[in-house]
Structures are given as structure tokens and as C-alpha cells.
Amino acid sequence: MKLMVPTQDMQDAYLDFVREWDRHHEEIVPYTARLLGRSYKQWITDNAYRQTQAVGTFVPDHTYVWVADDGTILGALNLRHRLNDHLRRVSGHIGYGVRPSARRQGHAKATLTAALPLAWRLGLNRVLVTCDKDNIASARTIQACGGVMENEIQDGDHIVQRYWIALEDYATV
């Protein structure tokens, strides 16, 4: 398995990924992995553009997919190059999600672990990763990757846990 920037030839695998989330009546996480009414081709183009350009209230970022050896897309991850006020408060540098049928198999931890050297290469010394307090699996994933909770904050009707992961250990990976 590997973390990859999505390409045009992954369209069928990506659309299968989308259909599974839809069947489970869930929205794809992270947000940037959603088509949002665009064609797959336009989504790929937009992803490439956002790697160097901030769009609207977003910061430059990379969207990756976690791909099995057989080409199945098991999850997605968004790595934000810097934080704005909203990201600093509730979303962090990294957001990730795993398709429903692939959960509880270690893919979230593997995906997050694979992204940390990429964050280091962007010049980040540490990354903020957040999760809802009631998402115990995500909290355990973040902690297993070295996340240390800074605090919990109220965000609307839920509590967000804010974790920092130091990247020095990922500098040589």
C-alpha cells in the first residue's frame, strides 16, 4: 500500500471509493477528497493547482489517496502546507479518512504515518492533527503516531481534541 497523488488513470478506483461512502450515507473525509459537483478530471486539475496556490479561504495543500496493491483506494488524506485561523483552531495540518469497508484494519495509522515525512519535507517541524472527542479511534491513531494533546476546545455542538506531532523522527524516513 502507498500514499499517492491521485491521477487520471485512477478514476474508476476513485469512483468506486465515492460510491462506497455514498452507500453508507457518509460524506467523504477529508473535504478535499470530494468531487463537489466537478468531473473527476476537473478534481485532478484543481488538486494540482492547490498544491501551490491558496484558493478562497483554503491554504495550499496536497490531497493524497491511500492505495492498496490491487489499485483499490482505501482512504484519502489532505496535507495543508500551513495553518490559517480556522485550521489552527479546529482542523489542523492533516485530515484523513478511510472508506467504511477498510476501517479498523490499521489504514488510518498507516496513512497518517506515510504523510508525516511529506510534512517534514514541506518544512514543517510539527503538525497539528485534530479529531472530535467522541472519535476514539481517530484519537488513538493520532496518539499512535506520536500525537500529544494540547487541549480540547468547543466547536459548535462538539468538542475538538487538538494534538501536535513532532516531525523530527520522520526526517529520515
Per-residue pLDDT tens digits for 117-157: 999 999 999 999 999 999 999 999 999 999 999 999 999 99
Q: pLDDT at position 173, please?
A: 58
Q: pLDDT at position 74, please?
A: 98
Q: Give the residue ranges of the chain where pLDDT is below 70.
A: 172-173
* Local structure of 85: helix, strand or coil: helix
For residue 133, report the phi and psi dihedrals to the nearest 5 degrees.
Answer: -60, -35
Q: Rounded distance, CA 166 to CA 120, Å?
A: 9
Q: For residue 139, how far is the Cα from the chain centroid?
A: 14
Q: pLDDT at position 123, please?
A: 95
**119 contact partners, CB below 8 Å, separation of at least 6:** 79, 93, 94, 127, 167, 170
Instruction: State the pTM of this model.
Output: 0.94
